Amino acid sequence: MNLGSITGVSINTLPEAVVASALGIICCLVGLHAVNLTAWVFRTLTERLLKLGVTPERSNMSTQ
């Protein structure tokens, strides 16, 4: 199958395939870190919002 007409890139040799694989792995790792960073930001914002709604009077009443 020749994907060169669809993507504009054709891989014909082993070194080209190795480079393409390495770039794919790097892209996957960057995407994973981006999703992880987004989850960390949402976790931090959620903790701040939850702590913002807790007052000392309410926290003492909930333990009794």
- Chain segment 2-34, per-residue pLDDT in tens: 666 677 778 889 999 999 999 999 999 999 999
The pLDDT score that the predictor gives to residue 52 is: 83
Picking from 22, 18, 2, the residue whose alpha carbon sits closest to that of residue 10 is: 2
With 60 as the cut, is the pLDDT of residue 41 above it?
A: yes
The pLDDT score that the predictor gives to residue 53 is: 75
3: DSSP letter? -
10, 3 contact by CB (below 8 A): yes
The pLDDT score that the predictor gives to residue 55 is: 66
Give me the half-sphere count of Cα atoms (radius 13 Å) on the Cβ side of residue 26: 6
3-state SS class at 13: coil
3-state SS class at 29: helix
